[in-house]
Amino acid sequence: MVLFWNYLSGFSILLPLAVWLLRFGFKSAPAPGLFFFLLLFSGVELAGVLLALQHKNNIWLACLFIPFEVGLLLHTLAQWMHRPMSVVTFAAVLLATLFSLTDALFICQLKGFNAFSRLGTSVLMLVGALIAFYDLLEGLREESLSRSPLFWMATAMLLYYSGTLTLFVVKSYDPLRLGSHVAQMWLLHSALNISFNLLLVKVMLCLPSTVTKSS
């Protein structure tokens, strides 16, 4: 049961990627950061599933992906915001790289996905999502929030990273007592990942297809 949901979670990234390709093809014009995130995330997820099926270590993929994840998602948010985010994005990528290297070299040594890097990354992304919500409120745009890609992108990040942060905090608090609940925690994480990818579909449906025709 857990393996099924883990694999479903991994393959769910193909849904937003398919929607992107159907709407925009291989053009990155509407949201370059999101486009390259989808390509990279799809490759990482599929490679992780293939390595897991062969009972090989795939932890290094997660550690390697974290700085790109932070940079591309924050770049995507910045594209639709009024305030400049280049300094915040640069600092967040540096911190995420530091978290990943510390995790890989000194804590888990690529043998287990320690909570440290995911905790730090989740905090960074939550800050980015909250800044995006503040930008939405401050701008008071006339457009409906239901048609705003920034709103749905920030919502996806807030949901996924707050849930992930909670799960890893709980897991780190008392791993011995929670040993019998590890399966349930992975199920919840799979549900968060699937929800994130479904919200990415909503983000892409809010993007104006006319932007790509001029590129």
Q: What is the pLDDT of residues 166-211, one digit of tens each?
A: 887 777 665 555 555 667 777 888 899 999 999 999 999 999 876 4
Q: Say which range, 12-26, 55-69, 81-95, 133-147, has the weakest mean pLDDT.
A: 133-147
* Spatial separation of the C-alpha atoms in residues 165 and 105, rounded to whole Å: 22
Give the whole-angstrom CA distance, residue 134 versus residue 131. Answer: 5
Q: What is the pLDDT of residue 163?
A: 93
Token pair recorded at residue 204: 């892409």
Model confidence, pTM? 0.86
Q: Are 160 and 195 in contact (CB under 8 A)?
A: yes
What is the rounded average pLDDT for all residues in the chain?
83
Quickly state the pLDDT bin for 56 (edges 50, 70, 90).
confident
